[in-house]
Amino acid sequence: MNELPNLPEQGAQPAPASQPAPYVAPPRRPGLFETLRQPLPLAVTVLAVLLAAQAWSTHSRINSMRADVARMLQKDQQLASETSAQARDVAEQVKQMQVKVGVLETRQQEAQSQQAALEQLYQDLSKNRDEWALSEIEQVLSTASQQLQLAGNVQGALIALGNADRSLSSSDKPQFITIRRAIARDIEKLKALPSVDLNGVALRLDNVIADVDTLPLLSDEKPALPAAPAPLLPKPKAKAKPSHPAVKPEPPTLAERAGDTWRALSAEMWDDIRQLIRVRTVDTPEALMLSPSESYFVRENLKLRLLNARLALLSRNETAFRDDLGTAQNMLLKYFDARARATQGALAALRQVQANNVAIEMPTLADSLNAVRNYKAK
């Protein structure tokens, strides 16, 4: 390398002008290779290359990152759009759910109010259930007592008492024991009553009512047919004596034959006269003078009397029952032929019916009714 010229030191005296300055050659610039051969430029060059490579790599990475970010942003935009659409759908669904929730809340409030009303009603019912049951039992027992006294309906009263006892037994309350004891006593009283075959008696009356149209009336009696004339019997022959020889009978004379004929004719005429004229003793002569329409009304009146007796029997009205039966028997004896077998059978049936005792004193259900009323009054 060429050495640089030495510069004059500061403070030195310049050369005198008379001497000419020596020729100084200009410095030569070093070449590229020479420059690269030096350590510092080489390091700088390597560093520059590395920096350029790093810059290019960084630029490439940045570009790829930009592309990735762009793709991610695009995907994010798509997801954002989808999310916004889903958010709108969710918002609409939320609005619908809010409406439904409002409706459900309204219904829930209504259900709660109804439940509260039902609970209050159940409490009221539970409080008044015993009173209502006792009121119903009292009404049933009162009706059964009325039927027992008016119509003698023993079976109906027993059924009513049994139903009342079952209703009280289902509640299983010890307070009802007194009422059940009273009901049991009334049931025993009704079962101890003497039994009357009302159905059998009513059937006998029905049979008599059905036979009324076939019973003969006194006004319907007709004269009997004339009896056939009795055949003339030959005279008995005289016994022949064994000691005497048999004698031939003589033929009847004309006078004897005329007498026999006259006696036969007179007997026949007397029979005819007896059939034409009959003498009877009748207490009610008007019964023989009934017209067909009057006969019809007599039969219908007799039926009505028997029907009234049947109703009095079922209602246990003994006075009316016996009065109607007595009137029916009097009508049979007054207007009907008492000698006929059918009339005699009807009279016998009415007498058997009249012999039944329908006047049975019916007990009351006062014990059961008083027990129920006393419990309600507490």
Q: How many domains does one find in the chain?
A: 2
Token pair 């009610």: residue? 284
C-alpha to C-alpha distance for 74 and 78, rounded to whole angstroms: 6
Does residue 184 contact residue 285 with C-beta atoms inside 8 Å? no
303 SS3 class: helix
Residue 303's CB: how many other CB atoms inside 10 A? 16
Indicate the DSSP class of residue 196: -
pLDDT of residue 38: 60
**CB-based burial label for 48 (10 Å; 0-12, 13-18, 19+):** exposed
- Please determine, for residue 2, whether its predicted confidence score (pLDDT) is greater than 50: no
Entry field: residues in the chain? 378
- Please determine, for residue 182, whether its predicted confidence score (pLDDT) is greater than 70: yes
Does residue 247 belong to any structural domain of this protein? no
C-alpha to C-alpha distance for 97 and 91, rounded to whole angstroms: 10
C-alpha to C-alpha distance for 136 and 116, rounded to whole angstroms: 28
Does residue 1 belong to any structural domain of this protein? no
- Please determine, for residue 247, whether its predicted confidence score (pLDDT) is greater than 60: no
Half-sphere exposure of 30 (CA within 13 A, CB side): 11
- Please determine, for residue 311, whether its predicted confidence score (pLDDT) is greater than 70: yes
C-alpha to C-alpha distance for 171 and 175, rounded to whole angstroms: 10
Based on the domain organization, do 200 and 342 belong to the same domain? yes
Q: pLDDT over 90 for what percent of the chain?
A: 2
Instruction: List % helix, strand, coil for the chain (3-state, nearest 5).
Output: 70, 0, 30
**What pTM does this model have?**
0.41
**CB-based burial label for 56 (10 Å; 0-12, 13-18, 19+):** exposed
Q: Which CATH number belongs to the domain containing residue 155 in this structure? A: 1.20.120
What are the pLDDT digits (tens) for 201-222?
A: 888 888 989 988 888 887 765 5
Based on the domain organization, do 142 and 211 belong to the same domain? no
Based on the domain organization, do 288 and 322 belong to the same domain? yes
Does residue 90 belong to any structural domain of this protein? no
C-alpha to C-alpha distance for 329 and 252, rounded to whole angstroms: 61
Based on the domain organization, do 122 and 182 belong to the same domain? yes
> Of 202, 154, 210, 151, whose CA–CA distance to 308 is shortest?
202
> Of 374, 34, 378, 377, whose CA–CA distance to 181 is shortest?
374
pLDDT of residue 292: 75
Based on the domain organization, do 321 and 212 belong to the same domain? yes
DSSP H stretches of helix in 152-176: 154-171
Does residue 329 belong to any structural domain of this protein? yes
Does residue 328 contact residue 316 with C-beta atoms inside 8 Å? no
Beta bridge partners of 224: none
Helix (H) or strand (E) holding 59: helix 39-151
Does residue 233 belong to any structural domain of this protein? no
Does residue 183 contact residue 368 with C-beta atoms inside 8 Å? yes
Does residue 42 belong to any structural domain of this protein? no
pLDDT of residue 225: 43
Domain of 176? 114-193+363-377
Split at pLDDT 50, 70, 90, the class of 236 is very low
Does residue 343 belong to any structural domain of this protein? yes
Angle between helices 154-171 and 39-151 (to 10 degrees): 150
336 SS3 class: strand
Split at pLDDT 50, 70, 90, the class of 370 is confident
Based on the domain organization, do 306 and 163 belong to the same domain? no
C-alpha to C-alpha distance for 315 and 202, rounded to whole angstroms: 12
Does residue 174 belong to any structural domain of this protein? yes
pLDDT of residue 224: 41
- Please determine, for residue 193, whether its predicted confidence score (pLDDT) is greater than 50: yes
Q: Which DSSP string do the residues of 132-154 spell out, in sequence order? A: HHHHHHHHHHHHHHHHHHHH--H
Token pair 């009303």: residue? 117
Based on the domain organization, do 353 and 314 belong to the same domain? yes
Half-sphere exposure of 147 (CA within 13 A, CB side): 15
Based on the domain organization, do 173 and 318 belong to the same domain? no
Based on the domain organization, do 215 and 123 belong to the same domain? no
- Residue 104 identity (one-letter amino acid): L
C-alpha to C-alpha distance for 378 and 367, rounded to whole angstroms: 17
Q: Tell me which of 212-221, 353-362, 366-375 is least confident.
A: 353-362
Based on the domain organization, do 174 and 311 belong to the same domain? no
Residues contacting 110, CB < 8 A, separation 6+? none
Our measurement of the distance from residue 93's CA atom to the centroid of its chain's CA atoms, rounded to an integer in Å, reads 49
What are the pLDDT digits (tens) for 35-59?
A: 555 667 777 888 888 888 888 888 8
pLDDT of residue 304: 92
Based on the domain organization, do 172 and 201 belong to the same domain? no
Based on the domain organization, do 171 and 158 belong to the same domain? yes
